Chain A
Amino acid sequence: MSIELLFENRKTVGRKLWLVIKDNGYTKSSFSKLTGISRPTLNKLIDGDINNLATFENHLQKIFDKQIINADKLLKYSPKYQEKEETKLALSDNAPNEHSRNSRAQKMFDILEDIVHLCELYQT
């Protein structure tokens, strides 16, 4: 696969790269550490926002060098796993910074938290 073709399809390459990162268990931060691509540049690569061919090639090469995926497979990559619907849990704590709850209130909150977690376990 030529680098020019990948560059022409850089938006798709970015989306595929994001899938590669997810499927292989990396975080953006760890992928950045592994490949030596900075976090802001990695974000641009994922968003398909690198508009200079040489820069694009330079960064993609760092990924190919680590043998995570090769140029031929990147554009054709399809996700390994189905997106799992995670339970969304929203918590709000608007107490002042220095506020500490009394032990009875804290105990109640701890119990509530355990109940929320149990609900989550049984739901999945």
Chain B
Amino acid sequence: MKGTIDDFKRYLSMDKSIKICILDNCSVEFLTRVQNEISYKMVFASYDIILIPQWVWNEVTDSNNRVNYITELQNALERVEIINEQDYTKLVDYKEAELYYLFQYSCDYIARLVSFMKRKITKNRPLEELEPYEEWLTTFYEQGLDGKELSNGRKQKKNAGEISIAVLSHILSFYYTELVDTITVFSNDRDAYEFISSAKRKFREDEKFKYREYISITFKSNDCLIYEWKNSGYINEGKLDAFVREYRQMRSTKFTRMKQDKSVEELDTTIDNQTFLEFLNDETVHIIF
């Protein structure tokens, strides 16, 4: 990060409609691969600031290509910030009991993690008696998440990046409603989508959160990006087929399709490249993730 977390908070309070992009490692990898055809200017023109949580950054640094891409981005756009999870407490003005809920609800997608938090962090105490955030955050990432050591010596933690993204996006969504216009998560990882979506359901059930104003969190998966680039004319129609075959793999895609009576069906199914190419020219289809 170029500045401190206080600089970042000051930056947020300077404008009234900031458009934020939060980057996941898999999207950085994808953007690195397509960069000869799609420049970062085309990708990030709509955003004022790009955020990368520290745990995602740790994953980015496993590849020189990804680090070079982000470094170029930082030099060109200025506002690319790596946010350490330890600083989340400052972003919520030290409301650490609420921050605990942001973590617990973001983990709701994985029952084992919620159990871990209850056993090892709250320990059946009132939340107001929690240890300092820095301490329980370390317990959570070090003991709660499965991990393995990579060949480069880095300790990889399963879902650490996705959880960091989910919590950061919810912080911005709930605590910066007056200042932020858009929060878009660039990720092709279904877990990132599910962590955020299942947390939203929990917030709707909790009276501490359900009446609060919030900013919607939106997503751009690789499929959404290709769809956008095609519609913006960044990918030539004649090269579309080759582009999709080169850079896209068969994946589970969430989308809506308008039926003949104008009702909309929601679908979530594995889409191969041929079907995806048909989607790109089908005005009744809208890709969600």
Enumerate chain A interface residues (CB-CB to B < 8 A): 18, 21-22, 24-31, 33-34, 81-82, 84, 88-91, 110, 113-114, 116-118, 121
**Would you call the interface of chain A mostly helix, strand, loop, or mixed?**
helix
B115 in complex: contacting residue of A21, A30, A114, CB < 8 Å: A114
What are 20 residue pairs bridging A and B, where the CB atoms are less than 8 Å apart in the complex? A18-B128, A21-B128, A24-B95, A25-B95, A25-B97, A26-B97, A27-B96, A27-B97, A27-B100, A28-B129, A29-B133, A30-B94, A81-B207, A88-B124, A91-B119, A110-B112, A113-B115, A114-B111, A117-B114, A118-B111
Q: Is the interface of B mostly helix, strand, loop or mixed?
A: helix
Contact of A25 with B111 in the complex, beta carbons under 8 Å: no
**B89, CB-defined interface residue at 8 Å:** yes
Q: Is B94 touching A33 in the complex (CB atoms < 8 A)?
A: yes
Number of B residues, CB within 8 Å of A? 27
* Shortest Cβ gap from A43 to chain B (Å): 11
Q: Is B145 an interface residue (CB 8 A)?
A: no
- Report whether A22 and B97 are in contact in the complex, using a CB–CB cutoff of 8 Å: yes
Cα(A104)–Cα(B11), bound, Å:
53
Show the binding face of B for A, using Cβ within 8 Å: 89, 92-101, 111-112, 114-115, 118-119, 124, 127-133, 207-208
CB neighbours (8 Å) of B99 from chain A are: 25
Contact A34 B124 (CB under 8 A): no
- Which residues of B lie under 8 Å from residue A33 when comparing CB positions? 94, 132
A84 to B207, CA, bound (A): 10
Residue of A at shortest CB range from B108?
A: A121
| Cα-based distance from A28 to B126 in the complex (angstroms) | 10
Which B residues are in CB contact (< 8 Å) with A84? 207
Taken together as a complex, chains A and B put the C-alpha atoms of A115 and B111 apart, in Å, by: 9
Whether B207 lies near A27 (C-beta < 8 A) is: no
- Does the CB pair A25–B98 fall under 8 Å? yes
Contacts of A110 in B (CB 8 A): 112
**Could you tell me if B129 and A25 are in contact, using CB atoms closer than 8 angstroms?**
no
A52 to B183, CA, bound (A): 49
Name, among A21, A30, A34, A117, the residue most crowded by chain B CB atoms within 10 Å (CB to CB).
A30
Judging by beta carbons under 8 Å apart, are B124 and A22 in contact? no
Contact A26 B115 (CB under 8 A): no
